[in-house]
Structure 1
């Protein structure tokens, strides 16, 4: 996974810098597969063009969200019938579970775990499930509302961006996303030769971002979601160290006199 991240960041960052003439800060911050809030926080401090970065990053998330389920139909992935829910959480259980997830998320955020609210909530819900505190499923309407709000959140990232600005950055975002998906697929093919796991499960675990989407798709396809989530946690932890290192390199490079 570490090698995969290095290849993705190096190649897509180089492409955005050389082909689309983006400054190094914008190019390399746009190339990171994940940690959008962290990346945007750094961009807000004056590294790179925040508008272009958010377009490219959101394009990546959007394309992954759209393309991965379609790819799951055509790629050589073993399909499993998803389990059919027969019992659902009661209102009291939902409130208690939500409170536990929020508390765990705040703790994770306080100790500076990447994507703390998401990972903290996942950890709390998983612990409660494995501990036998509940066995029921989430109510269908609540799941639908959650997906709608997720889509609205992604769309809100485009507020205030002009059409010309969007098109210019979107071209780079599409190519960068295609390169990233190709790299992940090649790496997954190699890993699948030495690891006895379904190709789809490996791909979802090594996918460049969209933690929630990959987890949801893993559940739908019957894969080991713990495996998928663990790899995404490792990816986010690696990015926590990689992003500051690359920013330091970019700033140092910008301070150097031209040859």
Structure 2
């Protein structure tokens, strides 16, 4: 009978000991340090870091410029309409000149052309609008450059790392699984970094383009409204 109870209790003790060992081993596992991990990426982490700095700088530089361009008084066109209807074009031009905004500069060009054919006024305003759109889109090409080449730099770093790893294995003849896994792990850091930087730049590029599209739509609405104002007295 004693032998039977020993047979029953021993597996339970074995399972308990195994769980204890697993918990102890998991508690002593080394934690991942992000900075140390990035340092293992190799020399190509330097150009990747520069690309990240460029992406962050130009994103916020363009974001501030676009936000400034979209800042306009909601009653701006109503004031312009009242001044044009009352014949006080100089007051309307003064308001447009003192408003630092693409819509205001476009309306100011239209006010300067009052008295000329509508087609000529529209053409002048369209030309100013194109210049304003170009100003808003300036430096966006840097973000597109970053999201285009950052993943390539990452893959290039991984390829160089793998070549170095296999060269060392061929030279030393030592190719344990731990050595190979460690080498691949450190060299894949450049690929992950390049993809993350490219993804951030891509999201920022598309976000800024969406903000520019909103401003372009606002400019088109203001242009159509201004033409309606000029044609209103003749109806």
Q: TM-score scaled to structure 1, two decimals? A: 0.24
Larger radius of gyration: 2
Would you tell me which structure has more helix in proportion to its own residues?
A: 2
Q: TM-score scaled to structure 2, two decimals? A: 0.26
